[in-house]
Amino acid sequence: MALKIWLGDKLVDESEAKISVFDHGLLYGDGVFEGIRVYNGKLFELEAHLARLYGSAKTLRLEIPMDREELAKATEQTVEANKIVDGYIRLVITRGVGTLGLNPFLCKEGRIIIIASSIQLYPEELYETGMKVISAATLRNHPLSVPPQIKSLNYLNNIIAKIEAIDSGVPEAIMYNHQGYVAEATGDNVFVVRDGIIYTPPNQAGSLPGITQKVVVKLAKQEGLEVVEKNLTRVDLYISDELFLTGTAAEVIGVVQMDGRIIGDGKPGPTTKLLREKFFEYVHTHCA
């Protein structure tokens, strides 16, 4: 079924949802975005996603031509127009139409695109069996380059790392920062469990401040588990009892093999399973 897409200031048919070849989002990857889940017809953690979006835009001095409330309404309208009950929303703000030069301030106005559809990153059985990952040779962006803390339309580092993973026959890659510490996976945050303590790298190590990561940290603490933000090395991951990833699209998924080393006992561990379960309980109470 053809979708209704929010483009600029209104909903249009998918076939009409076209943008200019002069849009700097296309010419230079100049723009920001969010991926948001819809559970039971409700937008999950919408406020947190909007806060991150406006923060990303502020960093790039990109003005979003709607305030937060209007953008929230437009997003809700797009969900309703497409009758999405369980799905995935892609909210994109491009720099808009400009010249062939780099200067972003010659672009007329930021362009809002909202797509309400669905996503399945990994096959269902991977959540039961756990997945394999590799270490990417490609580094996560240096904090003084395209900042890893913002969700910009420039994902090439992560795409190159994803290609490394696919070429190695696994679905995901762990990315390191310029200091050799774990940053994140190509589209997910990283957690390990060792001797009953949960560790996740600080966002300053080069990860996007994950909204799922934040929810999972909160839920772990509610379960009385200790959570420590700490720089992690490749070895910390190899010798962990459990390794798992979190993200809007991936939710919570166990990793059971990394660079050919079996993690824990080779199955998603009890903490991973508990937090996955608690995550869905949380989702269902917040999207009732």
Judged by the rule CB under 6 A, the positions of this chain that interact with ligand PMP are 35, 158, 184, 187-189, 207-208, 210-213, 246-249
User: 98 or 154, CB closer to ligand PMP?
Assistant: 154
Distances (CA, A) of 11 to 14, 15, 227: 9, 12, 43
- For 150, phi then psi, to 5°, come to -110, 155
User: How far, in Å, CA of 65 to CA of 73, rounded?
Assistant: 14
**Shortest Cβ 10–ligand PMP spacing (Å):** 27
State the nearest-atom distance from the C-beta of 94 to ligand PMP, in Å: 17
Residue 82 or 157: the one with the smaller Cβ distance to ligand PMP is 157
List all residues 6 or more positions away from 76 whose beta carbon is below 8 Å from its beta carbon: 43
Helices (H) and strands (E) in the chain, counts: 8, 15
- Which residues lie closer than 8 Å to 15 by C-beta, 6 or more apart? 2
What are the Cα distances from residue 246, in Å, to 73, 172, 236, 276? 27, 12, 18, 9
Alpha carbon distance 148, 264 (integer Å): 29
Shortest Cβ 212–ligand PMP spacing (Å) = 3
- Looking at the chain, how many residues does it have? 288
Q: Report the catalytic residues.
A: 151
Q: From the CB of 247, what's the least distance to ligand PMP, in Å?
A: 4
Q: Which is nearer to ligand PMP, 11 or 190 (CB)?
A: 190
- Nearer to ligand PMP by Cβ, of 31 and 210: the residue is 210
